[in-house]
């Protein structure tokens, strides 16, 4: 099933290549969407794709890149936007 997820990742997640790494992971899994840094220090990701691939991406979000220290991950389902690629904003 094709789904859209809104993900907010908290912890030491800015300045540690989280957005770049999330794009690499999304590209590897053929997922689309975007990642951006938020003023509160979190990273916000909207991502779409097949449910099993999204599950793999979510597992990755709980770890992140090597320098990240993920404290929590909040996930909500959203309306499919039909993104054409995965972008860093």
Query: Active-site residue numbers?
Result: 19, 37
Compute the C-alpha angle 64/22/45, nearest 5°: 100
Contact 47, 5 (CB under 8 A): yes
Contact 13, 70 (CB under 8 A): yes
């Amino acid at each position: 099933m094709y789904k859209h997820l809104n993900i907010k990742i908290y912890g030491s997640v800015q300045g540690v290549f989280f957005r770049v790494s999330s794009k690499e992971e999304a590209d590897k899994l053929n997922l689309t969407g975007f990642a951006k840094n938020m003023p509160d220090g979190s990273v916000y990701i909207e991502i779409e794709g097949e449910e099993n691939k999204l599950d793999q991406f979510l597992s990755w979000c709980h770890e992140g890149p090597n320098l990240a220290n993920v404290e929590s991950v909040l996930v909500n389902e959203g309306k499919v936007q039909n993104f054409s690629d995965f972008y860093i904003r």
